Amino acid sequence: MKITKYYKHAKTSGQSRLAKWILVTIAILFLGLFLLLPLIAVFTEALRNGIRAYVASFTTPDTISAIRLTLITTAIAVPLNLVFGVAAAWAIAKFDFRGKGILITLIDLPFAVSPVVSGLIFILLFGLHGWFGPWLTEHNIKIVFAIPGIVLATTFITFPFIARELIPLMQSQGTEEEQAALVLGAGGWRTFFRITLPNIKWGLLYGVILCSARAIGEFGAVSVVSGHIRGQTNTLPLHIEILYNEYDFVGAFSVASLLTMFAFVTLLIKSIVEWKFSKDLQEYSNDSNRS
Amino acid sequence: MSIEVRNISRMFGTFAALRNVSLKIPSGELVALLGPSGSGKTTLLRIIAGLDFADPGSGPILFHEDDVSNHDVGERQVGFVFQHYSLFRHMNIFENVAFGLNVRPRKSRPDKNDLKERVLKLLKLVQLERVAQLYPSQLSGGQRQRVALIRALAVEPKILLLDEPFGALDAKVRKELRQWLRRLHDEMSITSVFVTHDQEEALEVADRIAVLNAGRIEQEGTPEEVYDNPANPFVCDFLGSVNLFHCRVHNDRLHIGESELTEVSPGHTEHSSVVAYVRPHDIEISRTPHKDAIQSRVVHISTAGPIAKIQLIRLDTNEMVDAEITRQHYKQLQLRSGELVFINLHNPRVFVHDYVI
Ligand SMILES: Nc1ncnc2c1ncn2[C@@H]1O[C@H](COP(=O)(O)OP(=O)(O)OP(=O)(O)O)[C@@H](O)[C@H]1O
Ligand SMILES: [Mg+2]
């Protein structure tokens, strides 16, 4: 805080002004090259044949089915991870138990492993020749190359987002407020819903946003387990790839622009939440400094 | 409601935080758990509250004859004030105080107007009506502490447990609040236990004091008892500053070198090596040379405050001695630093090694 102020108010000499401009120019060029240009490219390509072709590419049955599948997958994976993430973070932050270190490492596993490998693990487990394959065929259950596989892979890949966000937050908040509630006669559930949850709400929302963004955009693991059955097991990112490989550039970029717009919305919500969240955190640290 | 714990032990891994602690707290008393950091005060308080549990094999925890050791924290219905207040930061002050009433089962929950009235009454009691709509982070430390206290009292507990309630406050606020706590305790018929590591606080407000050290209760009694008749050197040392003199006991008197000093209470056996613990205000300073006194030199005099503090150095052993005399006496003596004086001891507590003789 102090340092930035100091720099802002300091009289910049000719030399440092030059350095400043060079640095800013580099940053802008870099951003332009790697972020803005692709963005422009996506929308110009998508609108190349006019707005009508752009809209039309959303109404093909395959695109509609891809949108539906992506939404379904996200709608299942995110709530699942919400519950898992809160439970895991709660256990890690508020209790001492054996194997805590292992649990923390396991939570990070999906980040550490390449998504393609994650996908292959599911094939290995549930594929036709996988460990549970024969049993699954016997009972006529399809996981790999079907929606359950896609949901599983997405859930696995996006698992760390919420837990990772909550663990440090919950650790810093400690357990005294919950204990105070328990002494006052609130039961376990009530303590959770009235004390724990309100205290982590912004962190939780932040985690949910990151998790959703990844669930919608996940490509690698899903690509391995989906089987690319058009109109059935294609999510949006897979659909884009197929369209592109079939030289339907307008279609590919139109669908891509959809994902891009979703990214914008995510960023917007994320900044709002971040701002709220940091205010909460600050308030908390003020709190603990004063007491 | 009286409280009694019997043979409570608590291990954390291989570390014994409490060893065989037994304590009886009569109904309606205000009792202080006094001890240095890490002595197990918080652990004992949490076990009484039900926030922590004693090791298997420990004795019962009795609230008015009922064994509550298997009851959940919520069932025990005690009020607990945490060291760092632990107010609910996302609720305003009113909601904080109302929480305990709001989470009651429907049939015993007061209706809206009744609840509001009760909370406002409590807020008025601690002069915080004005801040009812503010959030904990907007309050000063002293205000937060008072909110924590009335939040615990809102559910009308029969037992109030306080963990270093004034620990984080400055000296003046501390003093005000502890006297206020004493009055509050007397007004409500409640049994209170408060943890502190401040002996002055314990001596000033408590009816009884339990002195803890390394997971054990060293002594339990009224403030006068523990101050005037400490059971062992630890208690003596912990309850205020004290000077140590290595002496001999002979013919019911303390001897140092050739000097025959003060009497010890009769019945003491002869012993060639004892330690006499003497409080600074029990050191007598005199300018008249005397064979039966310890010759010392005045090193430093500090007269700020109600008493004069004199620091002396013994000529025989070069050990430091702290003495406290009234300002009046100090004026009469007209002491100067560097001067030679003669000191005698009063009310010595005599211990052989670690045992009382
Ligand atoms: N959950 C725990 N796990 C491990 N050790 C603990 C735990 N709680 C307390 N202890 C240990 O038990 C001992 C007693 O702790 P306790 O909090 O009761 O001390 P205290 O008398 O309240 O000290 P203070 O005045 O510093 O608050 C300490 O040495 C502490 O390290
Ligand atoms: Mg403590």
Per-residue pLDDT reduced to its tens digit, B50-62? 999 999 988 899 9
Please tell me the distance between residue B16's alpha carbon and the centre of ligand 1 in angstroms. 10
Please say whether the beta carbons of A155 and A72 come within 8 A.
no
The set of long-range contacts for A70-75, using a CB threshold of 8 Å and a minimum separation of 24, is A70/A216, A70/A235, A70/A236, A72/A147, A72/A151, A73/A147, A73/A150, A73/A151, A73/A154, A73/A215, A73/A222, A73/A235, A74/A154, A74/A212, A74/A215, A74/A216
ipTM for the predicted complex: 0.82
Which of B12, B88, B108, B122 to mutate to test binding with chain A, by most A CBs within 10 Å of its CB?
A: B88
User: Band of the pLDDT at B357, cuts 50, 70, 90?
Assistant: very low
Where chain A has pLDDT below 50, the residues are 1-6, 287-291
Of the candidates A177, A187, A286, which has its C-beta nearest B88's C-beta? Answer: A177
Q: What rounded mean pLDDT belongs to chain B?
A: 88
Atom 26 (ligand 1): residue with closest C-alpha?
B37
Q: Chain A: give the shortest CA distance to residue B155, in Å.
A: 7
With tokens 């939570």, the residue in question is A107
Q: Is the CB of B37 under 6 A from ligand 1?
A: yes
Please say whether the beta carbons of B270 and B250 come within 8 A.
yes
Atom 4 (ligand 1): residue with closest C-alpha?
B12
User: What pLDDT is recorded for position A11?
Assistant: 55
Residues of B in contact with A187 (CB under 8 A): 74, 103
Please tell me the distance between residue A287's alpha carbon and the centre of ligand 2 in angstroms. 20
CA distance A129 to A121: 12
Please say whether the beta carbons of A170 and A139 come within 8 A.
no
Q: Is the CB of B17 under 6 A from ligand 1?
A: yes
Ligand 1 atom at minimal distance to the Cα of residue B212: 21
Handedness of CA B47, B50, B55, B60 (dihedral sign): positive
Chain A contact for B85 (CB, 8 A cutoff) = yes
pLDDT higher than 70, residue B266: no
Q: Distances from the Cα of B291 to the Cαs of B245, B257, B335, B343, in angstroms? A: 17, 11, 20, 11
pLDDT higher than 60, residue B116: yes
With tokens 């003669």, the residue in question is B342
Q: Distances from the Cα of A236 to the Cαs of A228, A229, A252, B101, B235, in angstroms? A: 11, 13, 10, 52, 75
Atom 28 (ligand 1): residue with closest C-alpha?
B38
**Six-digit token string for A61:** 């049955």
Q: Do B137 and A287 touch (CB under 8 A)?
A: yes
Q: Chain B: give the shortest CA distance to residue A45, in Å.
A: 49
* Residues flanking ion ligand 2, Cβ below 5 Å: B 42
pLDDT higher than 80, residue B259: no
With tokens 């040379």, the residue in question is B289
Helical packing angle, B141-153 and B112-125, nearest 10°: 140
User: What pLDDT is recorded for position B280?
Assistant: 92
User: What pLDDT is recorded for position B267?
Assistant: 62
Amino acid at B276: A
What angle (nearest 5°) sits at the alpha carbon of residue A202, between those of residues A198 and A75?
A: 100
Percent of chain B with pLDDT over 70: 97
Q: What is the largest CA-CA distance in chain A?
A: 78
With tokens 């002594």, the residue in question is B219
User: What pLDDT is recorded for position B263?
Assistant: 73
Q: Chain B: give the shortest CA distance to residue A172, in Å.
A: 13
Atom 12 (ligand 1): residue with closest C-alpha?
B17
Burial A231-257 (b: 16+ CB within 10 A, else e): eebbbbbbbbbbbeeeebebbbbbbbb
User: Of the candidates A190, A195, A108, A201, which has an alpha carbon nearest to the alpha carbon of residue A157?
Assistant: A108
CA distance B250 to B71: 56
Q: Is the CB of B39 under 6 A from ligand 1?
A: yes
Q: What is the pLDDT averaged over residues B97-108?
A: 90
Q: Which ligand is nearest to the CA of B35?
A: 1
Please tell me the distance between residue B12's alpha carbon and the centre of ligand 1 in angstroms. 9
Q: Chain B: give the shortest CA distance to residue A80, in Å.
A: 27
Percent of chain B with pLDDT over 90: 45
User: What pLDDT is recorded for position A290?
Assistant: 43
Q: Is the CB of B42 under 6 A from ligand 1?
A: yes
Q: Distances from the Cα of B98 to the Cαs of B101, B104, B127, B184, B334, in angstroms? A: 5, 10, 16, 19, 61
Residues 6+ apart with CB under 8 A from B201: B32, B166, B174, B178
Q: Do A283 and B89 touch (CB under 8 A)?
A: yes
pLDDT higher than 60, residue B304: yes
